[in-house]
């Protein structure tokens, strides 16, 4: 196969976003737009991938890391000028060059492949990816000649009234014969409404030199949306959200209300998982079969086992086993590891804790910096007192221990295997295995005391 290059345009500031964040770094479904573009380039077997950076260059480089080479465009004089920055690196190479914008996050590898195929099969020197949309405003219009061939692309701001009526648009994605591309770029002028060097002008330049121009029209206009402002950003989010939800449903996941379910692209979900309405599932989360994520839960970067039920809870950066029952209203904070058949009930907060198989923390507790063994029962209202204002300390509760309600376990402290802590105790010394520990003041009943007090009223 011939050399295949890709140039990703990502140097613009994105003024229309009105943001401190550079445009191509705005996330769509939690992932920066330019990263989505890069994800889709991965399967294409490209000889070299070059990203043109300018505004926020360091951040873009950090984001894409070793997935691309980077070329700095110091001044942003337009898309043609951006591509020209790659000239010193590849202008004399033979091959095909794909140019794609960093702000078209919904493009898929399949469409890019189809564009390459179309370009090669039609023996064109330039092939533009186009689509037809009902509201083309803002986009460059594809102007065809009387034979129906692409003659040129006219930017919205430069278009005549007739041209504005055209609803076939330039998606900003093209394949070019590499050498002819860099030749033509030298001929692009900035004599236009925006005073910029427009990459689409290369099409007309090649056409006038009698080179063959092709257009690959994609049927799905959703895929080609260019995100220039927050309105388009929200449209892109919605489209990608639906795309992700469709994929999971086709794989056997039940999503009760896909319009109100937000699942980020990296999430892995097995068949026969049920996702109830209002869930937000993010990061590198993975959910095994038979699990139910109940309504309005938020799960971020968690591994969740089989047949587990999570109800209206928040879980972050944690591992949760099989047949676990969580919530409603539990908060599983980072670095928590929950074993199998564990129960974490309502209003329980767990942080950086291991809770081993079959243990229960059923109500109103704080478990932080703790190691809890198997078959432990932590009574309602128990607190691991882990922080002295400077340092955090570990609470250990060994297998089969029973912690009565409202106990304070002042760390560092160990409750031995099978030990019993009486309700209301404040424990600041280790409790040996099988011991009963009571640390509360003795109850005193004063007979008829209330009546005596009432006499003085």
Q: Give the H/E segment covering residue 281.
A: strand 280-282
Neighbouring residues of 191: CB distance < 8 A, sequence distance ≥ 6: none
Two structure tokens written together for 410: 């002042």
Is 30 or 226 the residue whose CB approaches Ca ion more closely? 226
Q: Residue 373 and residue 358: Cα distance in Å, rounded?
A: 9
**Total number of residues shown for the chain:** 457
331 binds, among ligand UD1, Ca ion, none (CB under 5 to 8 A by kind): none
Is 85 or 285 the residue whose CB approaches ligand UD1 more closely? 85
- How many residues bind Ca ion (CB under 5 A)? The answer is 3
Does 139 bind ligand UD1 (CB under 6 A)? Our answer is: yes
> From the CB of residue 186, how many other CB atoms can be counted at a distance below 10 Å?
11
Task: Please give the backbone phi and psi of residue 107, each rounded to the nearest 5 degrees, phi first.
Answer: -60, 145
Q: Residue 24 and residue 220: Cα distance in Å, rounded?
A: 22
Residue 360 in contact with residue 340, Cβ under 8 Å?
A: no
Residue 384 in contact with residue 400, Cβ under 8 Å?
A: no
Does 407 bind ligand UD1 (CB under 6 A)? Our answer is: no
CB of 176 to ligand UD1, least distance (A): 13
- CA distances from residue 78 to 54, 120, 185 in whole angstroms, order as listed: 12, 27, 11
Is 24 or 350 the residue whose CB approaches ligand UD1 more closely? 24
Is 156 or 333 the residue whose CB approaches ligand UD1 more closely? 156
Is 73 or 297 the residue whose CB approaches ligand UD1 more closely? 73
Stretch 204-243 residues interacting with Ca ion (CB under 5 A): 226, 228
379 binds, among ligand UD1, Ca ion, none (CB under 5 to 8 A by kind): none
Residue 196 in contact with residue 190, Cβ under 8 Å?
A: yes
CB of 252 to ligand UD1, least distance (A): 35
Neighbouring residues of 153: CB distance < 8 A, sequence distance ≥ 6: 128, 140, 141, 142, 143, 170, 198, 200, 201, 203, 204
CB of 99 to Ca ion, least distance (A): 13
Cβ-proximal residue to ligand UD1, closest one: 140
Out of 103, 177, 276, 341, the residue judged to bind Ca ion by CB under 5 A: 103
Residue 319 in contact with residue 300, Cβ under 8 Å?
A: no
Out of 25, 101, 112, 419, the residue judged to bind ligand UD1 by CB under 6 A: 101
For helices 201-208 and 178-185, the axis angle rounded to 10 degrees is 100
DSSP helix/strand/coil, 444: coil
**Known active-site residue 323:** no
Instruction: Give the x/- contact pattern for ligand UD1 in 228-257, rule: CB under 6 A.
Output: x-----------------------------
CB of 9 to ligand UD1, least distance (A): 3
323 binds, among Ca ion, ligand UD1, none (CB under 5 to 8 A by kind): none
Task: Please give the backbone phi and psi of residue 378, each rounded to the nearest 5 degrees, phi first.
Answer: -105, 115
How many Å is the Cα radius of gyration of the chain?
Answer: 31
Is 24 or 367 the residue whose CB approaches ligand UD1 more closely? 24
Two structure tokens written together for 311: 């109800």
Does 321 bind Ca ion (CB under 5 A)? Our answer is: no
132 binds, among ligand UD1, Ca ion, none (CB under 5 to 8 A by kind): none
CB of 42 to ligand UD1, least distance (A): 19
- How many residues bind ligand UD1 (CB under 6 A)? The answer is 31
Binding site for ligand UD1 (CB under 6 A): 9-12, 23-24, 52, 73, 76-79, 81-82, 101-104, 139-140, 153, 155, 169-172, 198-200, 226, 228
Residues labelled catalytic:
363
Binding site for Ca ion (CB under 5 A): 103, 226, 228
């Amino acid at each position: 196969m011939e050399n295949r290059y890709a140039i990703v345009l990502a140097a613009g500031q994105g003024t229309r976003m009105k943001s401190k964040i550079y445009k191509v770094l705005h996330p769509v479904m939690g992932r920066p737009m330019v990263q989505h573009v890069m994800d889709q380039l991965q399967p294409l077997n490209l000889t070299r991938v070059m990203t043109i950076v300018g505004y926020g260059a360091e951040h873009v480089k950090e984001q894409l890391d070793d997935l691309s080479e980077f070329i700095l465009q110091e001044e942003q004089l337009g898309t043609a000028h951006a591509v020209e920055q790659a000239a010193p690196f590849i202008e004399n190479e033979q091959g095909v060059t794909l140019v794609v914008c960093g702000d078209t996050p919904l493009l898929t590898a399949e469409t890019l492949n189809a564009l390459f195929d179309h370009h090669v099969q039609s023996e064109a020197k330039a092939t533009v990816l186009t689509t037809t949309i009902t509201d083309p405003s803002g986009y460059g219009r594809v102007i065809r000649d009387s034979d129906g061939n692409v003659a040129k692309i006219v930017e919205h701001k430069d278009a005549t009234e007739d041209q504005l009526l055209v609803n076939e648009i330039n998606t900003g994605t093209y394949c070019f014969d590499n050498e002819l591309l860099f030749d033509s770029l030298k001929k692009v002028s900035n004599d236009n409404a925006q005073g910029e060097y427009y990459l689409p002008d290369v099409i007309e330049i090649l056409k006038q030199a009698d080179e063959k121009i092709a257009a690959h029209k994609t049927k799905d206009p959703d895929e080609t949306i260019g995100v220039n402002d927050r309105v388009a950003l929200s449209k892109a989010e919605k489209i990608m959200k639906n795309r992700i939800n469709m994929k999971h449903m086709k794989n056997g996941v039940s999503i009760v209300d896909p319009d109100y379910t937000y699942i980020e692209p990296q999430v892995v979900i097995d068949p026969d998982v049920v996702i109830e309405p209002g869930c937000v599932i993010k990061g590198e989360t993975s959910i095994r079969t038979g699990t139910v994520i109940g309504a309005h839960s938020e799960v971020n970067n968690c591994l969740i086992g089989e047949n587990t039920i999570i109800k209206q809870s928040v879980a972050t950066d944690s591992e949760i086993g099989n047949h676990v029952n969580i919530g409603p209203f539990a908060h599983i904070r980072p670095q928590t590891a929950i074993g199998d058949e564990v129960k974490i009930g309502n209003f329980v907060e767990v942080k950086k804790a291991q809770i081993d198989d079959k243990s229960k923390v059923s109500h109103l507790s704080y478990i932080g910096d703790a190691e809890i063994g198997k078959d432990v029962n932590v009574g309602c209202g128990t607190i691991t007192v882990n922080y002295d204002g400077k340092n955090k300390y570990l609470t250990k509760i060994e297998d089969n221990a029973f912690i009565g309600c409202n106990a304070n376990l002042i760390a560092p402290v160990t409750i031995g295997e099978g030990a019993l802590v009486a309700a209301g105790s404040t424990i600041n010394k280790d409790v040996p295995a099988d011991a009963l520990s009571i640390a509360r003041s003795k109850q005193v009943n004063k007979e008829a005391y209330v009546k005596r007090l009432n006499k003085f009223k």
